[in-house]
Amino acid sequence: MGEEGKKRELGMFYAIITGLGSTLGIEFFVLLDYATKLAGPAVVLSLIISGLINLLIMFNYAELSSSISRIGAEYTFTKAAFGGFICFFSGYLRWLSSIFTTTLSAMGLARIVCFFFPYINPSLFAVVVIALFTALSVKGGRIVDLATVISFIIAFVVLSVAGCFRGLNLDNFQPFMPNGFYPGVLAGAMYTFSMFVGMRAIVTKSPIIKEPGKVIPRAVWFSTIICIAIYCSVAFIAVGTIPPTATSTEPLLVHVGYVIMGTAGQLLIIVAWAAAAIMSLATSMSVQTSILSALSRDGYLPRIIFSPGKGSVTNYIAQMVGSIIAMFFAATGLITFVGYAAGFASLIVFALVNLSLIKLRKTQPNLERPFKTPFYPYTPIFGIVFAFMLMMFVESSAAVLVLEFILISLMIYHLKMMGYQRLRFAVGGINIGISGFIILILFLSGAGVLQLTLYSKEHTALLILGTIFAATFFIAGLLNLTKSRKETAETTGRLWME
């Protein structure tokens, strides 16, 4: 049974646990190291900024989820507001973001394992981990979420208290902003933004949350404040223990744990790190499947390949598609790159959700809204502006990668939406166009307008091959166009007969 068919049974406590369980994940362990390089000691300020921006955006999510309480979150919101390509685009990017999170989780687990077993290739280990999780379809549960959250909080509180008793080196905080507020602190805020995006897990549970209009915004508020407090405390202890300019072969938090508490502190961080990686993997892979099922259900993807069904072969195929892409990026071993890509994709989705809120306020003013985001319309506008502002600090290569995936989404959408007949017609036109282009090149070459440095035999061979290719493309184009017209005529005839 899907969640939409279940009764509302989650209260405030488990709503907060859901948010914390999805947010206190592998991103903090993996990304904090590089974030301190970007912002220096001011990484604490970067975490506060990214957390507060996320809080404001989550209030917009809370309004939408309380008024549109259906499975799908971002995809469902943009579907209600815009439909069409924007709806598909939002779901596609959310799926892409979950793939990058899967990759990041596997690479984070590989990093901590290979630290103790250096003879293991971390990239290969990450690929194997993703493959195993895909095969086993590992999923979490409420008890697991609760145990994980409690263990994280205990680990971070123990580390912070022990760090304070040991004493911090305040000289490590000078200069506080070595790279300035711009770009240093803002670049750090962008890079750490993905540490908080797990908070939207609360929104995805809206169909089974009691009184979502009251519970969701309060759960978002408490979860975000708790996460900001934990992240900032640990980051403060880390900077006060290890200067940001220090270099070490150990992961930052593992090194901090060892300096503060010796082997016990090191082991404490390692256990929390491994648990975070496993939970993040299970959650992100589950999200991939649900998004593809929703896109398939609404006709944006082939129903045959991605048809939903518990335990079905097609369900595993849906998991495998995202896992194959995740394994490809895991093989690169570029944690920083993947972190940027995950943040960039999430920011685009967040901007679309804020736009959806503004659109629905205008087009559906009478929609029942148990909760309304504070300071409207400034809150969604603020979310959009800051989302695009943080995008400016994304590493260019990661931005290019996401933009390439966006181009692929355009192709998938338009190929699917144009239908089989139009696709054949388009292919026929392309074939004839290629044929005409080849003929033009041959003509210009023969007339001497286009100079080709070829010997006479090579020129003759080029003319023969060019003529063959031109004829082949022309005939293929005619066949596609003729077949398309014939099938269209038959369809029209059947409609007239009916």
| Number of CB atoms found within 10 A of residue 452's CB | 11
Tokens of 498: 């009916």
Q: Which of 416, 389, 401, 448 is nearest to 96 (CA)?
A: 401
* pLDDT for 144: 65
More confident site: 368 or 249? 368
Asked whether residue 481 carries a pLDDT value surpassing 80, the answer given is no
Q: How much is the average pLDDT of 444-468? A: 63
Residues 138, 143, 148, 154, Cα dihedral to 10°: -170
Q: Which of 42-51, 418-427, 434-443 has the lowest mean pLDDT?
A: 418-427
Of 418 and 28, more confident: 28
* pLDDT beyond 90 at 197: no
Give DSSP secondary structure letters for 167-203: ---GGGGSSS-TTIIIIIIHHHHHHHGGGTGGGGHHH
User: What is the model's pLDDT at position 231?
Assistant: 92
Helix axes 252-261, 26-39, angle to 10 degrees: 90
Who has greater pLDDT, 188 or 208? 188
List the single range of 96-100, 202-206, 232-236 with lowest mean pLDDT.
202-206
Tell me the CA distances in angstroms from 136 to 60, 273, 277, 418, 489, one per residue in order: 36, 21, 16, 37, 50
| Tokens read off for 100 | 């990058």
pLDDT at 417 over 70: no
Distance CA 190, CA 168 (A): 27
Range with lowest mean pLDDT among 14-18, 277-281, 460-464? 460-464
| Of residues 14 and 310, more confidently modeled | 14
Higher pLDDT, 240 or 398: 240
The answer to whether the pTM exceeds 0.85 is: no
User: Where residue 447 falls among pLDDT bands split at 50, 70, 90?
Assistant: low
pLDDT at 167: 80
Residue type, 22: S
Is pLDDT at 488 greater than 50 in this prediction?
no
Given a cut of 60, whether residue 57 has pLDDT beyond it is: yes
Residue 46 has pLDDT above 60, yes or no: yes
What average pLDDT does range 115-128 have in this prediction? Answer: 86
pLDDT at 444: 67
Six-digit token pair at 287?
């999200």
**Where is pLDDT greater, at 476 or 280?**
280
Whether pLDDT at 482 is above 80: no
Residue type, 279: M
pLDDT per residue over 257-267, tens digit each?
Answer: 888 988 888 88
pLDDT of residue 104 exceeding 70: yes
Report whether pLDDT(487) > 60. no
The segment with the largest mean pLDDT, out of 2-16, 105-119, 302-316, 438-452, is 105-119
Backbone angles phi, psi at 10, to 5 degrees: -90, 125
Report in angstroms the alpha-carbon separations of 351 from 142, 203, 207, 345: 30, 16, 23, 10
Q: How far is CA 291 from CA 23, 109, 300, 358, 402, in A?
A: 19, 25, 11, 24, 18
Q: What one-character-per-residue DSSP string does 143-157 give?
A: HHHHHHHHHHHHHHH
Q: What is the DSSP letter of 312?
A: -
The stretch 446-453 carries a mean pLDDT of: 59
Select the highest-mean-pLDDT range: 44-48, 307-311, 448-452: 44-48
> Residue type for 110, please?
A
Assess contact for 276 and 306: CB atoms under 8 A.
no
Q: What is the pLDDT of residues 65-96, one digit of tens each?
A: 888 876 667 888 888 888 888 888 888 888 88
pLDDT tens digit sequence for 372-403: 888 888 989 988 888 888 888 887 878 887 88
- The alpha-carbon radius of gyration of the chain (Å, integer) is 27
Question: What would the mean pLDDT of 26-55 be, rounded to a whole number?
Answer: 89
What does the alpha-carbon distance between residue 195 and residue 441 come to, in Å, rounded to a whole number? 54
Beta bridge partners of 10: 209
Rounded distance, CA 203 to CA 73, Å? 6
Query: What does the pLDDT read at residue 228?
Result: 92
How far is 226 from 218, CA to CA, in rounded Å?
12
365 or 304, higher pLDDT: 365
Averaged confidence pLDDT in the chain = 78
Check residues 245 and 384 and name the one with the higher pLDDT.
Answer: 384
| Residue that the structure tokens 């003529």 belong to | 467
pLDDT in tens, 299-334: 777 665 545 444 444 556 667 778 888 888 888 777
Greater confidence (90 vs 410) lies with: 90
- Res 287 pLDDT > 80: no
